[in-house]
Amino acid sequence: MPARVKSIAGYRREALATGWELCSTPPDAFSGPDELSRAPLDWVRGHAPSTAAECLRAADLWSLDGAPRRFDAEDWWYRVRFTAPPRAPDEELVIGFDGLATVADVWLNGQPLLHSDNMFLAHERVLDAPLAGENELVIRFRALDRLLEAKRPRPKWRAPMVENQQLRRHRTRAAHRRA
């Protein structure tokens, strides 16, 4: 998942790998970062690229030995604050993601930046407006369980190793999914 700010002209990349925080919320409890910022949520320090389980395990808030947790039942929010990189007047600034898990929405400084529904695609967006000195990038990973509840036509074939047959309609990994 690491977001990175990249300069096209010089192909200079700056990874946003530190300073990340994450929290979970009930599915669709918040529609964007404005609502989220007013809510009393417990943010956990994280890092990128990583999963919610990995960040919670690193913070000693979850382990495989403890009670099971259904990570797909919650919306997961990641945020990072960063300083705008210096750039020449003729440089184009692009923000890129090497892949965002399943269904994700991204905001930069409170403005919608992109929507992704395929974890196997990389995304890049040219930043038309100049960045402020301090910026905030927010990513919401939607609760997959909520998305799987949608009634769809019955598949023509059944994959017995897949817990939910509607998973085939989402571009995500089927392997290593835990209940």
Q: Render pLDDT for 72-99 as a digit per residue (tens, 0 to 9).
A: 889 999 999 999 887 777 778 888 888 7
Side chain identity at residue 144, one-letter code: L
Residue 110 domain-assigned? yes
With pLDDT > 70 as the criterion, what percentage of the chain qualifies? 74
Q: Is 166 left (phi over 0), alpha (psi -120 to 50) or beta?
A: alpha
Domain presence at residue 155: no
pTM: 0.76
Q: pLDDT tens, 92-114?
A: 888 888 878 878 999 999 999 99
CATH of the domain at 134: 2.60.120.260
* CA nearest to 44, candidates 31, 60, 29: 60
Range of the domain at 51: 3-148
Answer whether residue 130 is part of any domain. Answer: yes
Query: Considering the domain boundaries, does residue 168 fall inside one?
Result: no
Low-confidence ranges of the chain (pLDDT < 70): 1-12, 145-179
| Residue 55 placed within a domain | yes
User: Is 39 within a domain?
Assistant: yes
Q: What amino acid is encoded at 108 in this protein?
A: L
Structurally, how many domains does the chain consist of? 1
Answer yes or no: is 131 within a domain: yes
Largest CA distance in the chain: 56
Per-residue pLDDT, 179: 34
- Residue 156 counted as domain residue: no
What pLDDT shows up at residue 4? 65
At 177 the pLDDT is 42
